[in-house]
Amino acid sequence: MRNIATILFVLFMVCYRAITRISLKTNDKSPLKIGHRGAAGYCPENTLSSFRKAIELGADYLELDIQMTKDGELVVIHDTTVNRTTNGKGRVKDFTIREIQGLDAGSWFDCKYTGEKIPTLSEVFDEFTGKIGFLLELKKPALYPQIEEKLVEELKKRKLTSGDGQIIVQSFDRDALKHFHKLLPSIPIGVLVKNTGIKMISNKNLKAFKNYVTFINPKITMVNKRIIKRIHHYGFKTIIWTVNKKNDRKTLKKLQVEGIISDYPDLS
Ligand code: G3P
Ligand code: CA
């Protein structure tokens, strides 16, 4: 009896996740809940603990940052150095995978996370595929030649290429996004925009984005009703980052944005 209940629960969760993702396409009014670097408000960012916590809190997607080691492994870390979030020092690109995974990526946040590692993208997919969607940020891709090809290879290997919304790829780097789109056009693309890049959403740019972009994703500090209206008017969806205040969430919900990225995926 217990087994049947467990099977039914798992089936329910799988269907629920699929429906939530599909709603991205059908303009459901409730924005998707996207866990920033997992659940960075509660756990050391971009770690397996952080991703598990985001799922536990009901996130629809994990937002995570991808970079590459000197021996070509895709790793999940935000900064281009390991200095802030590990017990090591140096640039991500100067470490081998073995070296970087020998670092402690948890104790800077809280000693109870001592021993947490910088995960590879592959480890993240191994544990979480099918349980949640992924909003993958190519972080400083110009530092990592062929990182777009590496990501495509990983997605193809795992058959995550259908473009059903399970994977979204975003970046501040438009050249990298264009390149990635050429390699794998089925995957929805998001352009990240911050205040200094307000020109990015000029009419001219918005028209140009039509060729390869699905999402325009501005920083919360630059968002207002007019900007959201323009983004929607040009036919794009939008995901706003990083939203940690209840009032902001409420306003964005009214503006019918498609997704909200938060360090606290349970923010309501
Ligand atoms: O997903 C958007 C947001 O994560 C971009 O900024 O610095 O947190 O990677 P950052
Ligand atoms: Ca990010």
Q: Is residue 204 part of a domain?
A: yes
Confirm whether 232 is a catalytic residue.
no
CATH for 190: 3.20.20.190
Confirm whether 233 is a catalytic residue.
no
Catalytic entry in 36, 181, 232, 233: 36
CA distance 143 to 121: 18
CA distance 70 to 82: 14
Is the domain of 69 the same as that of 137?
A: yes
Is the domain of 97 the same as that of 73?
A: yes
- Spell out which residues line ligand 1, taking CB within 6 angstroms: 36, 63, 65, 78, 137, 192, 241-242, 261
Number of domains in the chain: 2
- Please give the number of the atom of ligand 1 that sits closest to the Cα of 261: 1
Q: Is residue 128 part of a domain?
A: yes
Is the domain of 82 the same as that of 10?
A: no
Query: What pLDDT does residue 2 have?
Result: 55
Q: pLDDT digit string (tens) for 87-104?
A: 999 999 999 999 999 999
Closest ligand by atom to 170 CA: 1
Closest ligand by atom to 190 CA: 1
CA distance 216 to 192: 6
Q: 5 exposed, middle or buried (CB, 10 Å; 0-12, 13-18, 19+)? A: exposed
Other CB atoms within 10 A of residue 254 CB: 11
Q: Which domain holds residue 14?
A: 1-29
- Pick the residue whose CA is nearest to atom 2 on ligand 1: 241
Is the domain of 76 the same as that of 54?
A: yes
Pocket test for ligand 1, best of 78, 79, 241, 258 (most atoms within 8 A of CB): 241
- Pick the residue whose CA is nearest to atom 7 on ligand 1: 78
Which residues pair with residue 241 across a beta bridge? 219
Is the domain of 23 the same as that of 41?
A: no
- What's this model's pTM, rounded to 2 decimal places? 0.91
Q: List the one residue out of 214, 254, 261, 220 whose CA is nearest residue 234.
A: 214
Is the domain of 229 the same as that of 154?
A: yes
Q: pLDDT digit string (tens) for 175-230?
A: 999 999 999 999 999 999 998 877 778 889 899 999 999 999 999 999 999 999 99
